[in-house]
Structure 1
């Protein structure tokens, strides 16, 4: 869906949809993974890939999780380990190497990779020598294809122009800078102080070194934020003019994420303030020439993400929006999530468990899911809503040999209610998300989530606004 205008959102809609819900980086969502799916199931999925046509025609995507951070950001919901001891990284790399060996024992050496992402934590916690060791390890085991997307998350406080030279030398062509907010009061409230001048200098240095794309992460809904203060940050980001912008809503779940208990609830903006920030940010970004790619993302028109959106090739995976809809994804490292065929899997969330599994010569997968036929159909519908903002009945009918209107009769009843609220339009050909509905696209997708409709306990999720 291409949102051309930014429409006001009524207080009634805000109250009605101020509920918790998934972000749908996958369907079924990761909270539905079960411990009954383990390392043996993962091995079978890898073997099926190697013996099937996918190994010949579908490239791989790699995600490597580096969990270490030197300091704690109070808003963080990532799996991380706060430490000043950089020697812990050397041990972690040894175990990553052994995990890679487990994969090549199943898939063989030289599987083509067209997408690599280093996330965390703080991947730039690793020294230059350790980053070289990691990339050499991956290149020995996989064929990193020319022209692929090779990205790394960067904490601006841990890097300088010299380190950017190292990243370019190692083949990274995309950078993602964690900015969140430029306002000093907000930075202090979340324990992440980094001057705007530092970020501007790094982005300029990245451009001089020829990186294909620079992304900036922002968060709205943080403590001390107001629509006025966040508007100043948006203006600065427009002046910075990164190739991509990821704009996330802060999810305050202190019962799940201990660092968030340091945030004073009274300092958080309410739903109306958050929507005002989102509305203003969307208008300012699109006014500055950015394409509204999807729920979280904006991109300049010539960026690969915007091109994929125009061409209908956009997908959403565990790292957010992606240009590669059919990639199997191998997750390496503690807590990493992967997708192989019609399965999802996740590694152990603690170093102790992760190391123990590798020491016993087995994958560290501790939970996952083998998708049913119903899961696959519903995933297609939910991802079409999240990525294209529309579902065409005929395309789903042909792909999955169903009659959409009878298969999803209860869901279509819910769509009629959403249509009355102005969130979608519905006709004989399909469902289209409206401009206003895009604020609530998670609510539209939730109507097709069989697990969520059966289990109304949504306390595990963030609010959708």
Structure 2
């Protein structure tokens, strides 16, 4: 049996710990979320600032690979009411916080943020700062669709302080694009990339996916070569997460047998990674690559890399507030997720209440495990001899890791673990050994995508 076959099992992506299926919702309430948020806000260094993730859910068409919360519509009269609702939610948070917040990070995700007009996006960002100050070292970013991102979008957001943009590329093969219902040309991607550079964006990213339906090795090589010709500052090279049992009809536009599997799928990644390395890209954490000039590379080298519900980020704030339908907030001590439908979202805000419907209060043990998983995800190593890192079940965790050590995936000492070059492909599996909540209660139904 190969390592791919051995370790390709369902597992979390660890944008949080505990992962959402293991949240203890019974002990959570809106009032406890507010308490932990205020506590964390006061506890964190004021100069650190806070992060905002804003979910903009609208798309004009459905991409069948997508696992995000979205609403498909071609009606753009939905823009203004939604932005007003987001600003109302932000106003409720500002009334709750004991001091005027300083915003260090903003990320606009979706959905399709560039579904919204430049003018409405300006209304959103300016509205946020009616109740907040801008951090002097702010980092603002957004996701753009190459087909509808205009130069006006890029210029307006640049003028508002945005310096990083990521474009969803996925794959350039016409056959793959048709299967995933995401038709876009290399010309469109090149155009928006050049526009962003001309305007002055300091980090332009491309998002690619391997393991898509009908995707071949030749397709991945062609996509990587085209990507290299544009030299984005950073890129994500994600494994396609096939979870049709969660996402419904959106991921049922093709059959399971149309997807590359196991060794075939991993070869797509390894060849793409090799091609990227040959063109000056460095692997950062899991699924991410950056040129030496990009802030993600510097934060990784300086051990400042952080991971949260937005993915990898080059700086950390203790408080992250998620605004918009389905967004997740993180006070470090607790998580809170907003309602998932627009109707419920609007209804809560009409009642002048935060639209939170579930969450989790982290225990002392959760906080320790969270730090270990963050270390593995961001620094490829962790240790348990320092105060705040030891926990009673560490010996059982090490026992679970012994087979991975024999397979050359990790190096274990008396008090530490280091992921090897060979082990980078199996970071999710390594983190699973630390996941006490999942170890104690293995899932009885399908919850996660495959790890490889």
Both structures adopt the same fold (TM-score exceeding 0.5): yes
Partners of 2:24 and 2:132 in 1: CA distance: 29
Deviates more, 1:102-111 or 1:431-440: 102-111
Q: Is the 8 A contact 1:58 1:328 kept in 2?
A: no
Q: Is the 8 A contact 2:61 2:73 kept in 1?
A: yes
| Aligned ranges 1:47-196 → 2 under 5 Å | 47-50=38-41, 52-54=42-44, 56-108=46-98, 110-196=100-186
Q: Which residue of 1 aligns with 2:214?
A: 224
Aligned-residue offset at 1:464: 0.2
Q: Deviations over 1:396-442 (max 9, x none)?
A: x2234x3x6x5401111112111111111112341111111111111
TM-score (norm 1): 0.93
SS at match of 1:302: coil
- Structure 2 gaps of 5+ residues are none
Q: Which residue of 1 aligns with 2:373?
A: 382
- Structure 1 gaps of 5+ residues are 1-10
Runs of 4+ in 1 over 3 A off after TM superposition: none
Partners of 2:37 and 2:311 in 1: CA distance: 23
| Aligned ranges 1:223-302 → 2 under 5 Å | 223-258=213-248, 259-302=250-293
Q: Is the 8 A contact 1:20 1:463 kept in 2?
A: yes
| Aligned ranges 1:391-410 → 2 under 5 Å | 391-394=382-385, 397-400=386-389, 402=390, 407-410=393-396
Q: Which residue of 1 aligns with 2:450?
A: 463
Q: Deviations over 1:72-91 (max 9, x none)?
A: 00011000000011111111
- Equivalent residue in structure 2 for 1:212, among 184, 202, 215: 202
Alignment RMSD (CA, Å):
1.5
Partners of 2:318 and 2:186 in 1: CA distance: 36
Q: Which residue of 1 aligns with 2:434?
A: 448
Partners of 2:316 and 2:159 in 1: CA distance: 28
SS at match of 1:46: helix
Partners of 2:326 and 2:302 in 1: CA distance: 33
1:315 maps to 2:306? yes
Q: Deviations over 1:19-71 (max 9, x none)?
A: 10000011111222344323222221233235x33263431000000010000
Aligned-residue offset at 1:264: 2.3
TM-score (norm 2): 0.96
Q: Is the 8 A contact 2:40 2:319 kept in 1?
A: no
SS at match of 1:20: coil
Partners of 1:447 and 1:34 in 2: CA distance: 20
Partners of 2:99 and 2:43 in 1: CA distance: 17
Give the paired residue count.
449
Partners of 1:175 and 1:297 in 2: CA distance: 15
Q: Which residue of 1 aligns with 2:410?
A: 424
Deviates more, 1:78-87 or 1:23-32: 23-32
Partners of 1:47 and 1:308 in 2: CA distance: 28
Quick one: structure 1 residues 438 and 100, their matched pair in 2 at CA, closer, same or farther if it must change by over 3 Å? same
Q: Which residue of 2 aligns with 1:3?
A: none
Q: Deviations over 1:94-114 (max 9, x none)?
A: 211110110110115631111
Q: Deviations over 1:306-363 (max 9, x none)?
A: 1000001111111111122343100000000011141111000111111111111111
Aligned-residue offset at 1:369: 0.7
Q: Which residue of 1 aligns with 2:319?
A: 328
Q: Is the 8 A contact 1:42 1:365 kept in 2?
A: no
Partners of 2:100 and 2:435 in 1: CA distance: 38
Partners of 2:131 and 2:172 in 1: CA distance: 40
